[in-house]
Structures are given as structure tokens and as C-alpha cells.
Amino acid sequence: MAEYGNYSQAMVHILFKRRTEYHLTNTFLQTLLLVLVGFLTFFFEVDNFPDKIMVNLTTMLVVATLMSSIQSVSCLKFIKSNCRNLLT
């Protein structure tokens, strides 16, 4: 029969890694494409002024929604869990 020691501790190593390609594709690439679409409205003809305004406003709305969703997901859960742990 094999002998087993009396161990009073256990060690666990956890490695956290950032996924840079996730942030590049979901944040920077989308924002870059939207800014490019907004920039292309400079090449619309002057007669198409309502179309320019519509495209630019839609682009700004999408960028604002994208940035607010990124900010709410990334830090609020971490802050809420830390505050809860500190207050109890």
C-alpha cells in the first residue's frame, strides 16, 4: 500500500491572459470602419446634403452605442464585485 502524506495546504496556479485579437476585432476594427464610412460622406455631392447628415448621425449613434456597451461590460462587473466584497 502506498503512503500518502498529511498535507495541510493546496496550491493552485491560475494564469489570466488578455485576448488582444478580441479587442482588436470587436473595438478598434468596428470603430475604424464606422469612422471610414463617416469620412466617405465628404465625397458625396453637395445636392445630397440630407444623405450626408443621415449617414453621419447614424455613424455617431452607432459609435456612441458601441463605446457605451464596451465600457459597461468591461469595468462595471469588476467594480461591483469588488465593492460588494469590500463592504461586507
Q: Is the pLDDT of residue 9 over 70?
A: yes
Q: Is the pLDDT of residue 75 over 60?
A: no
pTM: 0.53
Distances (CA, A) of 28 to 17, 20, 42, 55: 19, 11, 22, 20
Q: Is the pLDDT of residue 82 over 80?
A: no
* Contact by Cβ (8 Å): 60, 37: no
Q: Please report, rounded to a whole number, the percentage of residues in the chain having pLDDT higher than 90.
A: 0
